[in-house]
């Protein structure tokens, strides 16, 4: 699909009140893209509101502008809405629905291969490593000058989505863009220390409690997190604290999954694949989405039935990948 650069530019030029939103359970790229694009549009003289249903995770509050993120939008009538890092409209959450209530046009800036092209203008480039890279690529077309605030936010998006340049989509160009962001003042070490190199003790306690459930068979490695265990160790954050990324690093693994039972009994599944394998299909089949090497889905429980059903699908993904790799 082509990039709607011209249509997006026209919408930005015509707008004076812009709401930017990002996805539920925002990560470093969601918040980095949100805030970075916010600073960019303010530089162009726009009134900008940035919003995310779940607010800013504590470890990302060092980012410039983090304190301005709204979690509840009402009585807003923007003349432009921009969604960053959202694969589909539902990911925009309640702030997205509120922002769109008055029929403002929508720009969809994303990098998920599963994106549904739900915008009036779509800037969706699955080859960018992060929505933040998409924002980086957009700025010169908007006439925005790189500055310290934008650079810090965008480098955070790139560093967190690539686990500090470790994912297989990192090209020479990405390193060049990161260099440009550092030259504009973005503090790489501070960003890595506050994001990819950081763990809470609660996350380590969670790992300690659930790693004994870990199993590896036929290239599929997985672990499960039930409600009782999560509550017993006092782990209150979303997700698995990075466990699924650890699991897929096992030499013997082709794909990894972590199954997490939520308080409402539904099961969140995080998937990772080694290069040459693909977990996006499994995620999609389960009603989720994501990338070839990193995807996720949320399904109805109970936990053990979900595990059993999903493992069979993952085994097929391993076989399909192995056929391509060999």
* CB-based contact 36:135 (threshold 8 Å): yes
Stretch that binds its own copies, among 49-57, 69-77, 209-217, 265-273 (CB under 8 A): 209-217
Alpha helices of 3-82 — where are they, by DSSP H?
Answer: 5-14, 28-43
Stretch that binds its own copies, among 67-75, 77-85, 247-255, 305-313 (CB under 8 A): 247-255
Among 14, 77, 197, 320, binds its own copies (CB under 8 A): 197
Counting Cα atoms < 13 Å in the Cβ hemisphere of 45 gives: 5
Angle value at C-alpha 284, between 55 and 88, nearest 5 degrees: 40
Counting Cα atoms < 13 Å in the Cβ hemisphere of 16 gives: 0
Report the alpha-carbon distance of residue 283 to residue 152 in Å, rounded. 32
Determine if 198 is a binding residue for its own copies (CB under 8 A).
yes
Among 21, 98, 130, 247, binds its own copies (CB under 8 A): 247
Q: 3-state class of 148 per DSSP?
A: helix
Stretch that binds its own copies, among 18-26, 80-88, 110-118, 162-170 (CB under 8 A): 162-170
The two tokens of residue 76 are: 């807003």
Name the minimum Å distance from CB 81 to its own copies: 34
The interface mask with its own copies, positions 213-242, x = CB under 8 A, is -x-x----x---------------------
Among 10, 16, 90, 168, binds its own copies (CB under 8 A): 168
Report the alpha-carbon distance of residue 173 to residue 125 in Å, rounded. 14
Report the alpha-carbon distance of residue 250 to residue 244 in Å, rounded. 11
Binders of its own copies in range 100-129 (CB under 8 A): none
Determine if 305 is a binding residue for its own copies (CB under 8 A).
no
Name the minimum Å distance from CB 207 to its own copies: 6
Determine if 13 is a binding residue for its own copies (CB under 8 A).
no
Determine if 284 is a binding residue for its own copies (CB under 8 A).
no
Nearest residue to 261 via CA among 228, 212, 220, 286: 228
Among 10, 16, 193, 319, binds its own copies (CB under 8 A): 193
* CB-based contact 114:280 (threshold 8 Å): yes
Report the alpha-carbon distance of residue 241 to residue 250 in Å, rounded. 17
Determine if 212 is a binding residue for its own copies (CB under 8 A).
yes
Nearest residue to 244 via CA among 220, 263, 267, 280: 220
Name the minimum Å distance from CB 301 to its own copies: 24
Contact residues toward its own copies (CB under 8 A) are: 164-168, 170-173, 175-176, 178-180, 182-183, 188-189, 192-193, 196-201, 204-205, 207-209, 211-212, 214, 216, 221, 246-247, 249-253, 274-275
């Amino acid at each position: 699909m082509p990039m709607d650069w011209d249509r997006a530019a026209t919408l930005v030029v015509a707008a004076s009140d812009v709401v930017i939103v990002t996805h539920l359970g925002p990560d470093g790229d969601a918040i980095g893209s949100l805030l970075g694009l916010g600073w960019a549009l303010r530089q162009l003289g726009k009134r900008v509101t940035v919003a995310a249903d779940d607010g800013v995770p504590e470890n990302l509050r060092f980012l410039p502008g983090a304190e301005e993120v709204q979690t509840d939008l009402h009585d807003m009538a923007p003349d432009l809405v921009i969604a960053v890092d959202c694969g589909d409209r539902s990911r925009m959450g309640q702030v997205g629905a509120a922002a769109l209530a008055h029929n403002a046009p929508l720009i969809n800036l994303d990098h998920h291969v599963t994106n549904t092209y739900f915008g009036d203008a779509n800037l969706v480039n699955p080859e960018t490593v992060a929505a933040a890279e998409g924002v980086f690529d957009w700025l010169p077309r908007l006439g925005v000058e790189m500055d310290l605030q934008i650079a810090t936010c965008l480098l955070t998006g790139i560093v967190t989505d690539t686990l500090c340049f470790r994912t297989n989509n990192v090209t020479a160009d990405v390193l060049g863009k990161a260099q440009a962001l550092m030259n504009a003042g973005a503090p790489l070490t501070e960003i890595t220390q506050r994001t990819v190199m950081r763990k809470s003790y609660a996350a380590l306690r969670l790992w300690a409690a659930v790693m004994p459930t870990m199993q590896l068979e036929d290239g599929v490695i997985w672990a499960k997190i039930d409600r009782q265990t999560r509550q017993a160790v006092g782990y209150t954050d979303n997700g698995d604290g990075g466990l699924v990324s650890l699991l897929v690093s096992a030499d013997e693994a082709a794909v990894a999954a972590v199954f997490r039972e939520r308080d409402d009994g539904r099961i969140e599944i995080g998937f990772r694949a080694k290069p040459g394998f693909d977990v996006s299909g499994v995620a999609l089949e389960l009603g989720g989405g994501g990338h070839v090497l990193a995807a996720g889905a949320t399904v109805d429980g109970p936990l053990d039935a979900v595990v059993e059903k999903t493992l069979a699908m993952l085994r097929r993904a391993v076989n399909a990948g192995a056929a391509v790799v060999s």
